[in-house]
Chains A and B, each alone.
Chain A
């Protein structure tokens, strides 16, 4: 699915990948400053392009613009704080501030969604299962079984439809008939899958499942390279968090747009660090390639 599954970034320890894959959306969610938010949104688009390709970016935009509008309008309609009045009805006023605030929140949601779309490209299912399985062995195995069953069950569904759907030979059927057929098919699926799964259970037992503590096949070494990458990530994201905590990049919409204008340097620095953190897979690839040439 993803166009770059074997990046340099993907060689890092899964814990770091998880840190990035969850860190990016969470950092974005805490973002109050519109500039930082724009940076995050831009980076999300770039990463989506980097991992999933141009098509996915457009697809993502098509999927989220309505949500963006919805959030914006909802905030605009229900919130009438702010100074700059756009128009007014008898009972309430509609302000530019609330419109912008709504837009910012809509953008925030879209950015978060875009970041999550990259999640499985950054942290492949196998690595996720490795991390999850360290603490939750049984649940991770269960998840792996589910992933195995997905395509198999999809195949069964096509088989069942193939076997039971004879609508091509009939007149257009009433909704009730179609519904009944749907129910019949899903019952068939249940029984078939359940019967088959009993054999899976036997196969698990035959291979000694449940005898005692399980070993683990996957192994990832945490090397000094990982440590270095982690340090860089922590530095970059730490700076952003520091800036947020210390109020260097506070931006408020109400009563009217205010931000700390003397802190422009801070703002630029923090946006820079943020982009550095969020674009890490990208720039690691660029620098890594340069290293080889030398």
Chain B
């Protein structure tokens, strides 16, 4: 039995741009569908077309079985923006109130939902007191409280940090498995989700290019990337590290027989374990595994980093700074010590509330340390410093990209190198997330800062956009500038950093070259390193 049938759905915006081309989709009862594809391929439009109240304006053809709109739940991308009211309790009740239910029914359903999601502990909180992950859980819960049969989620975890993302997906899985609600999840980082999905849909340019199970999807991606002559691994691969490694293995060995590919870290290690035993007999194991490890090798920084205390080649030397926001609150930074050298791509990794953003604000002179000093390099010259905030929207105030760039004093060459020239006449808010980030980058780079500070530059971006911004930053570093970037994104750090530091509870616990950093960490590292560790 199907929940929703979509037949030959086409959609065009009023400006005549065709977004969807004859989409056929049948969603079975309780099915878990993963919808993936590059940004701008029409994922959001498709999801919105399925939910009548928020269907975009334009011409649509094709048919859709009628499912009352209230039986379809929709979760949006941004956790903050979808919240309507000011307390958790009322947010949970909002949809139920709209249904015009009796007070008793509303209260019972709110209680029930809160207990299922474990929201009961913070149900009395104001919505601004809870974290982004909790906000997204609340959004999911308030939709589930209306008891939908089908749940549509539009990149619900792209704005969350890795831990909150895993937590959200776990809960989502429970919703699917325990309540039997069908789920269509659109997402661009779907490594974790692949093993769980009943069906994977790959969409490009408004049509499905692949439809089937996860195994087939990995094979499809492998073939597709070979056709496009692109490397299989890296930020834009779109498949999990385990599957990548298995694909390499097959490629190197030219194995003809088709095996089940590993999808998770655990399966990846099991797979390699098996191959190791097989390889011992043929004696080719060592050579093969070295080849694979070589692919995941991080950038090895060429130069030696200076020793503690010396000012040679130093851009800024952070000397035991302490910082607190208010006298009544604990210190956010506690004797933080960090050496930023010239011409390095320095990434600081750390969890929520570890003081990452505070550190950047102090370096950008928006805040001032209570204790400690920021010392200059050998030449005692203050470097030009610029800060790119987490959300580039905080920088935009003009009506077109061109005006924005002009005001920032950005040269045409810079705009061209960041690929902004074809966007000049657009409004900054009509750009995609990656384009907005690049526009923000162009605006800060216009001043040609010696030290560029970045706060979570990859938040909410898909692999392609991440790679683009990473490449741009790398170019900038190669021109002799310094980049300091704080992020949650381990894969991004692994791909681009020269030097990595771990920030925890307001202290820098280690600063090492990227290769050593990720090899030494057992948990706080990339999936590929987890799989290859000790093998």
A and B touch in the complex (CB under 8 A): yes
User: Which residue numbers of A lie inside 8 Å of B, CB to CB?
Assistant: 125-126, 141, 144-145, 147-148, 151-152, 155-156, 159-166, 168-169, 184-185, 187-188, 191-192, 195-197, 199-200, 202-219
Give Cα distance in the complex from A204 to B76, angstroms.
Answer: 11
Chain B nearest CB from A98 CB (Å) reads 47
Are A209 and B98 in touch, CB under 8 angstroms? yes
Q: Does B371 contact A (CB under 8 A)?
A: no
Of the residues B69, B127, B391, B397, contact of A208 by C-beta under 8 Å:
B69
Q: Does B331 contact A (CB under 8 A)?
A: no
Q: Does B535 contact A (CB under 8 A)?
A: no
Sample of 23 A–B contacts (CB below 8 Å): A148-B86, A152-B128, A162-B364, A162-B387, A162-B389, A164-B395, A166-B386, A185-B397, A191-B397, A192-B393, A195-B429, A202-B54, A206-B51, A206-B54, A206-B73, A207-B142, A208-B53, A209-B98, A210-B98, A214-B97, A215-B100, A215-B101, A217-B90
Are B74 and A163 in touch, CB under 8 angstroms? no
Measured CB to CB, the nearest residue on chain A to B98 is A208
Q: Does B103 contact A (CB under 8 A)?
A: yes
Q: What residues of A have a CB within 8 angstroms of the CB of B54 in the complex?
A: 202, 205-206
Q: What residues of B have a CB within 8 angstroms of the CB of A206 in the complex?
A: 51, 53-54, 73-74, 76, 143
Q: Does B279 contact A (CB under 8 A)?
A: no
Q: Does B32 contact A (CB under 8 A)?
A: no
Give Cα distance in the complex from A165 to B365, angstroms.
Answer: 10
Q: What residues of B have a CB within 8 angstroms of the CB of A214 in the complex?
A: 97-98, 100
Give Cα distance in the complex from A58 to B80, angstroms.
Answer: 38
Are A217 and B397 in touch, CB under 8 angstroms? no
Are B394 and A211 in touch, CB under 8 angstroms? no
Q: Does B82 contact A (CB under 8 A)?
A: yes
Of the residues A141, A148, A151, A165, contact of B366 by C-beta under 8 Å:
A165
Q: What residues of B have a CB within 8 angstroms of the CB of A203 in the complex?
A: 74, 76, 81-84, 139
Measured CB to CB, the nearest residue on chain A to B95 is A207
Are B76 and A215 in touch, CB under 8 angstroms? no
Give Cα distance in the complex from A105 to B170, angstroms.
Answer: 64
Chain B nearest CB from A184 CB (Å) reads 5
Are A156 and B84 in touch, CB under 8 angstroms? no
Of the residues B127, B365, B390, contact of A169 by C-beta under 8 Å:
B365
Given contacts A206-B74, A208-B146, contact A184 B397 (CB under 8 A): yes
Q: What residues of A have a CB within 8 angstroms of the CB of B74 in the complex?
A: 203, 206
Are B100 and A152 in touch, CB under 8 angstroms? no
Q: What residues of B have a CB within 8 angstroms of the CB of A215 in the complex?
A: 96-103, 105-106
Chain B nearest CB from A283 CB (Å) reads 28
Are A191 and B429 in touch, CB under 8 angstroms? yes
Chain A nearest CB from B357 CB (Å) reads 9
Q: What residues of A have a CB within 8 angstroms of the CB of B188 in the complex?
A: none
Are A147 and B98 in touch, CB under 8 angstroms? no
Q: Does B113 contact A (CB under 8 A)?
A: no
Q: What residues of A have a CB within 8 angstroms of the CB of B165 in the complex?
A: none
Give Cα distance in the complex from A202 to B48, angstroms.
Answer: 10
Are A163 and B385 in touch, CB under 8 angstroms? no
In the complex, besides A152-B80, A207-B94, 13 extra interface pairs with C-beta distance below 8 angstroms are A126-B87, A144-B86, A145-B85, A156-B394, A162-B364, A188-B396, A196-B80, A203-B76, A203-B82, A209-B94, A215-B101, A215-B105, A217-B89
Of the residues A156, A187, A196, A200, contact of B397 by C-beta under 8 Å:
A187
Are B82 and A199 in touch, CB under 8 angstroms? yes
Q: Does B110 contact A (CB under 8 A)?
A: yes
Given contacts A162-B387, A219-B103, contact A207 B83 (CB under 8 A): no
Give Cα distance in the complex from A222 to B54, angstroms.
Answer: 40
Q: What residues of B have a CB within 8 angstroms of the CB of A126 in the complex?
A: 87, 90
Within 8 A of A (CB), among B323-342: none
Are B99 and A211 in touch, CB under 8 angstroms? yes
Give Cα distance in the complex from A15 to B429, angstroms.
Answer: 46
Are B98 and A191 in touch, CB under 8 angstroms? no
Given contacts A148-B86, A217-B110, contact A159 B389 (CB under 8 A): yes
Chain A nearest CB from B431 CB (Å) reads 12
Are A188 and B96 in touch, CB under 8 angstroms? no
Chain A nearest CB from B244 CB (Å) reads 35
Q: Does B93 contact A (CB under 8 A)?
A: yes
Q: What residues of A have a CB within 8 angstroms of the CB of B39 in the complex?
A: none
Of the residues B78, B89, B100, B146, contact of A207 by C-beta under 8 Å:
B146
Chain A nearest CB from B433 CB (Å) reads 13
Of the candidates A164, A196, A215, the one having the most CB atoms from chain B within 10 angstroms of its own CB is A215
Q: What residues of B have a CB within 8 angstroms of the CB of A210 in the complex?
A: 98
Q: Does B511 contact A (CB under 8 A)?
A: no
Give Cα distance in the complex from A208 to B84, angstroms.
Answer: 13
Q: What residues of B have a CB within 8 angstroms of the CB of A160 in the complex?
A: 394
Q: What residues of B have a CB within 8 angstroms of the CB of A147 in the complex?
A: 86
Given contacts A145-B85, A219-B107, contact A151 B128 (CB under 8 A): yes
Q: Does B320 contact A (CB under 8 A)?
A: no
Are A148 and B95 in touch, CB under 8 angstroms? no
Give Cα distance in the complex from A258 to B351, angstroms.
Answer: 73
Chain B nearest CB from A36 CB (Å) reads 39
Measured CB to CB, the nearest residue on chain B to A196 is B81
Q: What residues of B have a CB within 8 angstroms of the CB of A212 in the complex?
A: 100
Q: What residues of A have a CB within 8 angstroms of the CB of B110 in the complex?
A: 217
Chain B nearest CB from A275 CB (Å) reads 34
Measured CB to CB, the nearest residue on chain B to A190 is B397
Of the residues B89, B127, B385, B395, contact of A188 by C-beta under 8 Å:
B395
Q: What residues of A have a CB within 8 angstroms of the CB of B394 in the complex?
A: 156, 159-160, 162-164, 188, 192
Chain A nearest CB from B535 CB (Å) reads 44
Given contacts A207-B146, A214-B97, A216-B103, contact A141 B81 (CB under 8 A): no
Give Cα distance in the complex from A195 to B391, angstroms.
Answer: 14
Q: Does B70 contact A (CB under 8 A)?
A: yes
Given contacts A199-B78, A203-B81, A215-B99, contact A162 B395 (CB under 8 A): no
Measured CB to CB, the nearest residue on chain A to B105 is A215
Are A208 and B95 in touch, CB under 8 angstroms? yes
Q: What residues of B have a CB within 8 angstroms of the CB of A125 in the complex?
A: 86
Are A144 and B76 in touch, CB under 8 angstroms? no
Measured CB to CB, the nearest residue on chain B to A149 is B86
A-B pairs, top 8 by smallest CB distance, nearest first, are A168-B365, A217-B93, A203-B82, A151-B128, A207-B95, A163-B394, A199-B81, A148-B86
